[in-house]
Structure 1
Amino acid sequence: MTMPYTIKHAQQLDARDELRSFRDEFYIKEGTIYMDGNSLGLLSKRAEASLLQILDSWKELGIDGWTQGEHPWFYLSERLGDLMAPLVGAKPEEVIVTGSTTLNLHQLVATFYEPQGNRTKIVADELSFPSDIYALQSQLKLKSLNPDEHLVRVKSRDGRTLTEEDIIEAMTDDVALIVLSSVLYRSGQILNMKKITEEAHRRGILIGWDLCHSIGAIPHALDEWDVDFAFWCNYKYLNGGPGCVAGLYVNEKHFGRTPGLAGWFSSDKRKQFDMEHTLTPAPDAGAYQLATPHVLSMAPLLGSLELFHEAGIDRLRKKSLQLTQYMMDLIRYELADFGFSFGNPLDDETRGGHIYLEHSEAARICKALKAQGVIPDFRKPNGIRLAPVALYNSFEDVFRTVQILKAIMTEETYKQYENTRDVVA
């Protein structure tokens, strides 16, 4: 049966959506359709409330806020780790909210990259987010190793995705560590974390995962997959706010290992204020903290994670797949004659939370979309990322986005803009 591509049908889909009430939890600017939640999630009313609650504890308690109040700041990183652990399939003590994505990567590589004998190389891939590569290059230089020789970047066959075979082939006997992204930031491809981790361990190689584009969008089972470590940001699908404190995971089998980078909050909390010059690391993932936590930047996560607990990551993933499939179907139907192609995987198993449209005029099309109230994301050289986020986007949002895009192409209004990215794409 031919699918009815009408606004009425989109509204019917929304009426049947069991997660539709969560949209009301978010601040959505009138007259806009937000499709950039894979770059920065929207503010929820509960995140706002938890931030104000922490501010109030500062106002009322002063320095006693570290140990008093409903959410004592001294234990806030651990409390948030407890709340976040189900989203990555881990034990609470294996997760800590701390640092930033790149800082946490530096910490984890400084800890787990131990070149010995012939094993000196780190495997990443040529589609990694640049910050990850910068960090890996830096860590190699700190070990007096040349990144051009010791950083192996798995090649992509099509410039968008990676194949398991090519990744596994790179796992040679001179590799000490592997760092890959669970979901590729451009194409949204989900890598098979379970299989790739098993293959790495079969060859005696430690492996860590960048979960920036998967946490909050897809389920994880890090413990079940026996992942060594992982790290991520919390401002995309988890809606923690711009610059929100990040998170990391360390498998409990590695507890007791001395962190590569030590700091004030690496301490066992029972010993921290003994003020000794010999570090007694925390017995769990808390050891991988460094400096005093950014309390106000963590606070919104208290409210945001409540929503994930109520919605459930499995239900969110189900709706996300429905939204992205609906968007692809509409694009095929409405935009077949305008030169668009999909750069994202088409199947449910390997498609993440966003659509990656390719077009030679992508930069100016993004500008035209934004002028019409649709917030997309441009990725050089020719990519348009559109992320219908399950917590707050609707099927009607998707329908209207595609209709606006069709009008832009039909009327050629995109030609009013230069086909170059802005400073922030």
Structure 2
Amino acid sequence: MRVIGLMSGTSVDGIDAAVVEITGDPARPQVTLLAGETYDYPADLRAQILAVCGGAALSMQQLAQLDEAIAQAFAQAALKIAQDHRPITLIGSHGQTVFHRPPTDQLGYTMQLGRGDLIAAVTGVETVSNFRVADIALGGHGAPLVPPVDVALLSHPTDDRAVQNIGGIGNVAFLPATNRTETFAGFDTGPGNVLLDLAVAHLSQGEKTYDADGAWASQGQIHPNLVQQWLAHPYFQQTPPKSTGRELFGVDYFQQCLADAAGLPAADLLACLTELTVLSIVQSYQQWLPRLPQQVLLCGGGSHNGYLRSRLQQHLPTTRVLTTTAVGLDADSKEAIAFAVLAYWRKHGIYGNLPQVTGAREFALLGEIYGVAGNSAVIA
């Protein structure tokens, strides 16, 4: 089956699209990447999404318009990447997260915009979307959702692996070697690129959106006491299952970091924020994983940050820090591939969540299916 996966993460840096061929055992499929691209959001749409993620109020009419604009952008991304790879049987669209509330004394709540029914109608391809809500209804966090795909695609016969996504928010999937009987683990580790991107935009007066290869941060000096002050945040002490987003580590948190770092050179601020991401990852491994893995496999935008990677390797001297590309799964397309697989599982009636990761009471089928009848999409 030829499937398109669509994904835009908390960095809101564009729509990742992947075309994959899925064959073999549906539960542990063989996945071949045929094409992977990132399509930029129109600048005004990206600005609106970031504003909403930052807490800007919308009327119901504005919310509907934003939902439809995101769906149109996702549909166009699917049409573009499908041009040389037809026929496409299925689309899995994560959508764009604009709000996430982890469960506490009440059910969690999450909102991903980008209507699946509209994507199906525009593309003429059956579409699965809204993956997180079924897990949340069962008391889970609805996040992270990619670990079961990592288990299927990246487990190693003899080595323990930690698959570390560094998007706007970081998350990890611990994959014990398949010759062991231990369970899997996974959770959001904390901020990934989100604070760094906010800092770069602030420091460059909006001329830059990210620190390419960590070059700017690499010129700075790390101030350990400041980093440890930030690491005292309660999230880092919270026991998994746990998830987070821009609601916690967003503009308000960055402003506090900026105030804490008053008087420091710009490069020092970036070096300290990079170290916060790195140490939040390392300390979460030390606290919550059964043991340190032999390999850490990076994916997401942060996998291109050479300075961040070098700091992570320095703090994990006995672990080999690689990217998923190095072991055969494209690091830039991995999240989009994951939602293609999750859509494929939904169509085959295969559970898509890991309750030990998300905290849900039981396994669940993830995603709502929108079929195509004539020129209109109907929920199935």
Which TM-score applies when normalising by structure 2?
Answer: 0.27
Bigger Rg, which one: 1
Structure with the largest fraction of helix: 1
TM normalised by structure 1 equals 0.25
